[in-house]
Amino acid sequence: MMAPMDNARAYREHIAELTRRHEAAALRGQVDTIVLGAGLMEYRFLDDQAHRFVASPHFLHWVPLEQHPGSAVIFNPGEKPVLVVCRPDDFWHQPPALPPAQIAAAFDLRVIREPAELGAQLPGGRRTALLGPPTQFDGLLPEAERNPAAVVNHLHYQRARKTAWEIDCVRRAAVIAAPGHRAAAAAFAAGASEYHILAAFLGASRVTEDELPYGAIVGLNEHGATLHYQLRERSPPAGGNRSLLIDAGCAADGYACDITRTYAARGHDDFAALIAGMDRLQASLCDAVRPGVAFPELHRQTHRGVGALLRDAGLVDMDPADQVSSGVTAAFLPHGLGHLLGILVHDVGGHMADDTGKPLDPPADFPKIRFLRTLEPGVVVTIEPGIYFIPSLLDRLKSSPAGCHVNWPQVDALRPYGGIRIEDDVVVTATGHENLTRPLLP
């Protein structure tokens, strides 16, 4: 949906900031023009049915037009940016809407009827960078650079710092998703299936599944142990609902929220106590978000906290630091603490040392985490610690030297619950942080 009128000033400031960034990117890449394409519709093999269209993040960064394949923004430093909207004269499908006045006012608005007409709008005789899916630029400006690294790296690095308008988009996405999470929790408590829990989420959030920024994860019982569980059982589990892990977000003006909650059914007290412990740990990690904190250090703090939680729950008889160094906590928490969030659910720039694209070296103890940068104001991150009972990882732990320190009967008793993840979206402020999701879903 489009930006509301009360956000017009924030959007103008957003465009001003993007102008500064793209001027610097053009200088870095030694180009005169940057074209940011939305992409094209892609069709199924041997079929006239199209895949779901997802606009390029380069295009969405400028303008919240999510259903406008064939469109583009043309940026020439020192000039008003041009917005080319592809609006076919089509009686088979509803043509996409033109942008509202507050959006259009930021651009020199031009309308084309076919994607191929974009070529006539591109300036000739200039050094040009074409950013976006290359198929949109087939046959156009063969001398132009496609996604040149110097330009893209600069923009990706800067994109980690969100403008006030972008942060408000994530905030509004969370407002849309919150009723869905509450409805999903109620459906779980009533004994619904994964399929019907997802339907409850979609209905309460008033969105279709195609409008979600990522495939919702709705895992009952053991299914919560599959980190990106993708199936939706139509019938409730034969033994009833013991636990629910739901990871589901919505989008506003192309920006995603990313929220996870875990629930225990009534009477399953041991698992409920573990959820409560994880909730306290997650809150402490959110409280630690502030400028100047290196995210890998927060990840280490997470593993120490998970170790303490495993020890206090009687699952592992080891000091938390020893659990981390011996790989015990990694068997229960095999993913990172969080990631950048924005136009993409896993947004870009998390491994960059600077705007040239120089990579940051991952820490030796956690070489695969998604986000390596030091936190600074405007950065939006997810904070999502977890504990999972994943059979393959537990089998490896059991055969390792540290396996003798695990209370296997207690672990086995918790395997039928799958796992726990609690996730909020947090923006770094000048003095600390703001949790964008927890006020909506305590």
Is residue 4 predicted with pLDDT exceeding 80?
A: no
Give the domain extent around 281.
164-435
Residues 183, 151, single domain; the answer is no
Looking at the structure, tell me whether residues 74 and 183 fall in a common domain. Answer: no
119 and 264 in a single domain? The answer is no
Specify whether 242 is located in the same domain as 346. yes
What number of H helices and E strands is found in the chain? 12, 16
What is the pLDDT at residue 6? 61
Contact predicate 246/224, CB 8 Å:
no
Tell me: the pLDDT tens digits for 57-112? Answer: 999 999 999 999 999 999 999 999 999 999 999 999 999 999 999 999 999 999 99
Q: What mean pLDDT comes out for the span 111-139?
A: 95
Asked if the model's pLDDT at residue 1 lies above 90, the reply is no
So what's the pLDDT on residue 124?
Answer: 84
What would the pLDDT profile of 209-250 be if each residue is shown by its tens digit? 999 999 999 999 999 999 999 999 999 999 999 999 999 999
* pLDDT computed for residue 330 by the predictor: 98
Residues 64 and 138 occupy one common structural domain? yes
**165, 11 contact by CB (below 8 A):** yes
Average pLDDT over residues 276-283: 98
In this prediction, residue 57 carries a pLDDT of 98
User: Of 159, 188, 215, which residue constitutes the final position of a domain?
Assistant: 159
Residue 440 lies in a domain: no
Q: Do residues 84 and 126 touch, judged by C-beta distance below 8 A?
A: no
Residue 47 sits in a domain of what CATH number?
3.40.350.10
Kindly report the CA angle at 213 between 15 and 3, in degrees rounded to 5? 35
Domain total of the chain: 2
- Give domain status of residue 332, yes or no: yes
Q: Nearest to residue 288, comparing CAs of 248, 333, 337? A: 337
Show which of 159, 180, 214 is a domain's final residue: 159
CB-based contacts of 91, cutoff 8 Å, min separation 6? none
> What is the rounded average pLDDT for all residues in the chain?
96
Rounded to whole angstroms, what are the CA distances from 364 to 307, 359, 360? 19, 15, 12
262 and 188 inside one domain:
yes
pLDDT number for residue 80: 97
Domain boundary among 159, 184, 219: 159
At residue 23 the predicted structure's pLDDT band, cuts being 50, 70 and 90, is very high
Residue 5: the pLDDT is 40
Give the residue-averaged pLDDT of 342-348.
97
Q: Do residues 273 and 421 both lie within one domain?
A: yes
Can you give the CATH number for the domain in which 342 is found? 3.90.230.10
d(CA 146, CA 316): 53
- pLDDT above 70 for 2: no
Domain contains 140: yes
Task: Tell whether 441 is covered by a domain.
Answer: no
Residue 402 in any domain: the answer is yes
